[in-house]
Structure 1
Amino acid sequence: MSERARGAAAAVEFEALADDAWLLRLGERIDDALNARVHALAARIRARAPAWLRDLVPAYASVAVFFDPRAVDAETVRSWLAQRCGETGDGGDAANSATARVVEIPVAYGGEFGPDLDEAAAQLGLTAPQLIERHSGGEYRVAMIGFAPGFPYLSGLEPALALPRLATPRTHVAAGSVAIGGAQTGIYPRPGPGGWRLLGRTPLRLFDAARAAPSLLQPGDRVRLRAIGADEFHALHERSLHARAQREDAAE
């Protein structure tokens, strides 16, 4: 291992999560460049995945690695992971971004779909159409999946659009709600409580246990939002319900 590789490995902090898991910490902040390093490391691990590897869970600044303790001991796993941490030549952030999957998410903004849109625009000194244009015009990256199954934390929000969370969270947020919380955008995969500012809603189902891949979005995906009207929202929603009914019939 080269000196540079040793330095890269040493920069990663190992923490035992359990008898069958290591947490690899690359930092302690929300930062796009750091998160890109997380996904690059996860990709290197995944590309050489041994039979004992059970799961990888990338977060903003860390990767949780779960292994089969019946097949390998924890120190052997740590040594193997340290080698992956020290490897270079993955092409850097640009290469990972270029090969990431791109997913388009249609979003109906405002009104019944986004009850906080007008107030959020006023706080930002914008009109509602301006906020829609700027929010839907950016490109986002799935920094991590968390909070609830299938909930994507999206990095890449224009800094000028950051908004504080609600002082009092709602007890009910509709499934598919697209929201801003601080410097992030997120999408609620199912109904539940939440304190982010609701700008709109997507008719797509972000999490469905009946699908082969239950979560529509995966860590590292690039996401583009597309503003749509109410008619298209309802048409896509009906199509989504029909597809789910077909999957359930096939499973019976």
Structure 2
Amino acid sequence: MEVMQYAEDALTINLGNEVDEKINRQLVILKAAIEKLEIEGITDIVLSYTSLIVYFDVQKTNIEKLKESLSTLDLSDLTDSTYSYKVIKIPVCYGGKFGPDLDSFKADGLEPEDVIARHSEKEYLVYMLGFMPGFPFLGGLDESLYKARLDSPRTKIPAGSVGIGGQQTGMYPFDSPGGWNLLGRTPIPLYDSSRESAILYEAGDRIIYTSIDEDEYYRIQEAYEKGQYTVDIEYRGEENGA
């Protein structure tokens, strides 16, 4: 592990320089191991593609104490532990007013139904959350769906929009400007402070998009608002070395 300090109240642990599923798995395991140490003063642990940032309260601990505690961890030992994660199914209404860029894939030789078939019903790995609370950067996109961001970003993208930017897919938890190609929208709030977990997923989890029609979109939206809809979440575990 490469431990570096870029701020007075944070330590960064680097595990590599490539976007890789194995590194993501190691970061998730390392985060859990640090949390188990229950180090006084740590306020947050944030994952990126290849690193983990430990934020701490300088009034409760200092960099030397934190480094000493972290030095007790051996990443090679952690790889033998059980890796648990969630699989969250997100219903998406593709195309139409929800996915204005779906037809743009015709220029790449793909009809809308082809794009939907290749984008839905597969597991995407949540590499990290960023840009805004709850925005997942997902890996595992079919190479035929790679598409550069729009030359002119939109000034407002509706919350729940699902899109593609380059080699990744993701979704917008809030109304926001953005330049991703929009395929559809989910009726499930991606950030909801009234839930036990305001954000349904975190780094290391998986997301599966399921295709629904417009009628189903509004049915789910209404059911969720009435507290009558339960998000489909499956809990899984695997060997970390797998």
- Please indicate the TM-score interval, normalised by the length of the shorter structure: 0.7 to 0.9
- Contact between 2:91 and 2:209, CA under 8 Å: does it hold in 1? yes
Aligned pairs, number: 228
Structure 1: which 5+ runs fail to align? 1-11, 245-252
- By percentage of residues, which structure has more helix? 1
C-alpha RMSD of the superposition: 1.9
Aligned residue among 149, 154, 165 for 1:181: 165
- SS of residue matched to 1:137: coil
Structure with the higher strand share, 1 or 2: 2
> Which secondary structure state, in structure 2, belongs to the residue aligned with residue 166 of structure 1?
coil
TM-score (norm 2): 0.87
Task: Identify the structure with bigger relative contact order (alpha carbons < 8 Å, sequence gap 6+).
Answer: 2
Q: Alpha-carbon deviation of 1:87?
A: 4.5
Asked if the contact 1:138–1:158 (Cα under 8 Å) also holds between the matched residues in 2, the reply is no
Per the alignment, residue 57 of structure 1 pairs with 46
* Contact 2:86/2:201, CA 8 A, preserved across alignment: no
- Equivalent residues in 2 for 1:40-51, closer than 5 Å: 40-51=29-40
Are 2:13 and 1:24 equivalent residues in the alignment? yes
**CA 1:160/1:81 → structure 2, altered by over 3 Å: closer, same or farther?**
farther
Residue 242 of structure 1, CA deviation = 3.0
Contact 2:149 2:166 survives alignment (8 Å): yes
Whether the 8 Å CA contact 1:55–1:65 is kept in 2: the answer is: yes
| Alignment check: 8 A CA contact 2:26 2:79 kept | no
Q: Paired residue for 1:6?
A: none
- Residues 1:117 and 2:117 are matched in the alignment: no
Shift of 1:78: 1.4
C-alpha separation between the residues in 2 aligned to 1:124 and 1:76? Answer: 55
Contact 1:154 / 1:185 at 8 angstroms: preserved in 2?
Answer: yes
Quickly say closer, same or farther: Cα 1:144–1:85, change in 2 above 3 A: farther
1:14 and 2:3 matched: yes
Unpaired runs of at least 5, structure 2: 229-242
The alignment status of 1:74 with 2:58, answered yes or no, reads no
Give the letter for the 1:156 counterpart: G
Tell whether the 8 Å contact from 1:163 to 1:181 is kept in structure 2 after alignment.
yes
Residue identity opposite 1:205 in structure 2: P
Pair 1:229 & 2:229 matched: no
When structure 1 is superposed on structure 2, of 51-60 and 28-37 the one drifting more is: 28-37
Match of 1:7 in 2: none
TM-score computed with the length of structure 1 as normaliser = 0.84
User: Residue 24 of structure 1: SS of its match in structure 2?
Assistant: strand
Contact 1:206 1:217 (C-alpha < 8 Å) held by counterparts: no
Residue 216 of structure 1, aligned match among 186, 190, 200: 200
Could you tell me which amino acid in structure 1 is paired with residue 31 of structure 2? A
Is the 1:205–1:216 contact (alpha carbons within 8 Å) kept by the matching residues of 2? no
62-71 vs 228-237, which moves further: 62-71
Q: 1:52, 1:71 within 8 Å by CA — same for their partners in 2? A: yes
Query: Which whole-Å deviations, capped at 9, do the CAs of 1:71-110 have from their partners, x for residues lacking one?
Result: 3221121122233254514337xx53xx211111001101
In percent, how many aligned pairs have the same letter?
A: 40
- The whole-number CA distance in structure 2 between the counterparts of 1:46 and 1:150 is 21
Q: CA deviation at 1:16?
A: 1.6
Q: What is the alpha-carbon distance in structure 2 between the residues aligned to residue 124 and residue 143 of structure 1?
A: 27
Task: In structure 2, give the amino acid aligned to 1:239.
Answer: A
Question: For the residues of structure 2 that align with 1:43 and 1:123, how far apart are their CA atoms?
Answer: 45
Q: CA deviation at 1:209?
A: 2.7
3-state DSSP of counterpart to 2:73: helix
Partner of 1:4: none
Which residue identity lines up with residue 151 of structure 1 in the other structure? Answer: F
Report the 3-state secondary structure (helix = DSSP H, G, I; strand = E; otherwise coil) of the residue aligned with 1:91: coil
Greater shift in the superposed pair: 16-25 or 127-136: 16-25
The letter for the 1-side match of 2:14 is R
- After superposition, the C-alpha distances for 1:132-152 in whole angstroms (9 at most, x for unaligned) are 011003211111111011111
In the alignment, structure 1 residue 133 sits paired with structure 2 residue 122: no
